[in-house]
Amino acid sequence: DTEVTQTPKHLVMGMTNKKSLKCEQHMGHRAMYWYKQKAKKPPELMFVYSYEKLSINESVPSRFSPECPNSSLLNLHLHALQPEDSALYLCASSQTGSEQFFGPGTRLTVL
Amino acid sequence: GQSLEQPSEVTAVEGAIVQINCTYQTSGFYGLSWYQQHDGGAPTFLSYNALDGLEETGRFSSFLSRSDSYGYLLLQELQMKDSASYFCAVPDRGYNKLIFGAGTRLAVHP
Collect all residues of chain B within an 8 Å Cβ-Cβ radius of residue A90. 42-43
Nearest to A98 among B41, B48, B102 (CB): B48
The pLDDT of residue A97: 85
The pLDDT of residue B9: 97
A97, B96: Cβ pair inside 8 Å?
yes
Interval A60-79 mean pLDDT: 96
- Per-residue pLDDT tens digits for A6-28: 999 999 999 999 999 999 999 99
The pLDDT of residue B2: 78
- Per-residue pLDDT tens digits for B12-69: 999 999 999 999 998 888 899 999 999 999 999 999 999 999 999 899 999 999 999 9
Q: What is the DSSP string of A16-67?
A: T-EEEEEEEE-S--SEEEEEEE-TTS--EEEEEEETTEEEEE-S--TTEEEE
Residues of chain A in Cβ contact (below 8 Å) with chain B: 31, 40-43, 45, 48, 50, 55-56, 90, 96-105
